[in-house]
Amino acid sequence: MASSSRDTSMCDKLREKGNALYRQLAGPQVYAAPLRRMKCTQAEKYYQEALAQSRTRADRASCLKNLGMLHILWTRLELVDTAIVDNEPSFVYAPHLAYAKKKAAAAVGPLVEALHSGEEKPQQWLTHLQDHLVGFIEWAPRPLLRSLCEEFDLALGKRTVRCKAAVVAHLRFAEKQFGQGVLNLESHNFTGCISIMNDCMQLLRKAASLEAERDSDEYISITEMQERAETQIFVCESMQACASGDQVLMRALFDEEEVNFELAFEAIDLYRRAVLLTRERDIEGEAVAMSKLGKVYSEVVKDPERASKAHYQATKLALTVMSPRIARSDWYRYSSAKHAEHQEEVRRTEEREHEEKVAPTKKKLEEEIRSLDLEAKKGGRHFLDYIYQNHPNPDPKKTPGDMLKAENRVLTKEMLRKAISHYHPDANVVYGKEWQVLCEEISKILNLKYEYFKLEKTS
């Protein structure tokens, strides 16, 4: 019993010696690197000797905690010679970074072991240890995070102890990797982006396996980050497919004297792949791929129907995420112009076909149509009187009523609207072909009068 008491007392004395040095190092005084490392090494020696003298799990946990926190402080002190560039430490001395990585890694094992050995400690002690470790992870710059994650994996092994800091370490490193992956994507380094995003996904899967509480903030952040990383991988692969399609298309157009249609269709397949990869994930990316697809159909394959469908879809998608940048982009202006051209061509074709179809009927109504044109020149109010008197609508409900009383000699917008509704061709299909064609001619004049009336009133 006396021996155990002496051991405990010796353990406490050694820890106190280490703590005295720790307080010096953590204080406001700044030490030169050689002196700083000497004091850290001496404190580490005291804590190691105290650990060797410990006889209870509680004492062992305390010694391990001291060791881990010393290495955290040591890591911070090694990184005092840094400059901050884009919120990331830019290390002036490479040896300092290497030394800091070594000390950061050395902090993890003792602290994880302290959590395991300190199960009998008060909850406040365990919470403080977890919070201190998490605080260190949140502070740690990106170059240290990979080493920390690897050390957590080694230290935890098959242990069932929950270590929030391990979860946070993998999550924060995944976030840093995600940011680097986005930068690679922006610089069109597709291979680098995909590699880093896959690394990010692996880190997130590990973080998820370490987090037992599925309703914790960390687990929610992990699942959200997984969705974002997965989307970025699809977006990157889509952009890569588009870039490959551009290269193949250039070869199809310029490698030989004539267009190589086999290569052109290979480019089409790549653009289609890009569309599928971004669907419901990146609307703008899908629109860009659609525009490229439409351009090949428009200018190379000469397939106006497929081209129109692609340009329409590109324009439609762009409108859902429209911004000044998209509105100014070459691909959007090209697709919207091509879609408008196709619509106008379709309109002209339909109009021409319709005119050919109704030509015989219009021939029969030649006299009536000529009279409509002559009466229209006499004014809008006069024209209303003429059509209701000479061409009354067969539907008894479609009459001018009091609208055309002798005292109502001033033409109004309401008069024109009512007449347009009465003589609209689609509303007069049941009364025969000739009447419908006549209504078309009447409607043309009424619509022109209405547009002129609106312009006259606004000028």
The pLDDT tens digits for 331-376 are: 999 999 999 999 999 899 999 999 999 999 999 999 999 999 999 9
**E strand or H helix at 89:** strand 88-91
The pLDDT tens digits for 427-444 are: 999 999 999 999 999 999
Q: Please give the span between the terminal C-alpha atoms of the chain, in angstroms, as a whole number.
A: 108
Task: Inform me whether the pLDDT recorded for 152 exceeds 80.
Answer: yes
Q: Would you place residue 82 in the very low, low, confident or very high pLDDT band (cuts 50, 70, 90)?
A: low
Do 63 and 15 meet the contact criterion of CB atoms below 8 Å apart? yes
The pLDDT tens digits for 288-337 are: 999 999 999 999 999 999 999 999 999 999 999 999 999 999 999 999 99
CB count in 10 Å sphere of residue 322 = 12
Strands (E), 121-236: none
Amino acid at 232: Q
- Whole-number percent of the chain with pLDDT over 90: 71
- Helix, strand and coil percent figures for the chain, each rounded to 5: 80, 0, 15
Task: Inform me whether the pLDDT recorded for 127 exceeds 50.
Answer: yes
pLDDT of residue 352: 94
Task: Inform me whether the pLDDT recorded for 38 exceeds 50.
Answer: yes
Q: Would you place residue 31 in the very low, low, confident or very high pLDDT band (cuts 50, 70, 90)?
A: confident
